Amino acid sequence: MSAQRILIVDDNPGNLKLLSFLLKTNGYEIRTAGDADEALAVLDEFVPRLILMDLQLPGVDGLELTRRLKANAERRNILIVAVTASAMKGDEQKALAAGCDGYITKPVDTRTLPTLVASYLAKSEDG
């Protein structure tokens, strides 16, 4: 079976490096993007099963990018999990209302992230 594909969208190079390393080590095929425009360019040639989406991106933010992807017939079935340092009351609801399929707060728990990602992927295969 081929590796599950994941796109990580985050404007912080350190976060991209850490998340990529954690997920590659667990057998996932990873691509990264630093903003919405780069993410859209990657999506033209790489179709992920899941996107880890930073919500606070420069320019078009992660919520708007999620709305655009979920409105696109070819991309609406890609799982999108918000990964954000914004953990104020109501933020998770905003992310879910924009179309996110899940919500992870930063700093990311490096011990549980691979299991969490696997659980989102497994849930999507079940339903």
Determine the average pLDDT of the residues in 4-18.
97
Write out pLDDT tens, residues 92-125: 999 999 999 999 999 999 999 999 999 999 987 7
Q: Which fold has domain 5-121?
A: Rossmann fold (3.40.50)
Determine the average pLDDT of the residues in 23-43.
97
Query: Domain map of the chain by residue range?
Result: 5-121
CB 106 within 8 A of CB 85: yes
Q: What pLDDT score was predicted for residue 2?
A: 67
Q: What is the DSSP letter of 53?
A: E
Rounded CA separation 41/84 (Å):
22
Please say if the pLDDT value at position 86 is more than 80.
no
Higher-confidence residue: 17 or 84?
A: 17
Name the burial class of residue 58, with classes exposed (0-12), middle (13-18) and buried (19+) by CB atoms within 10 angstroms of its CB.
exposed
CB 83 within 8 A of CB 104: yes
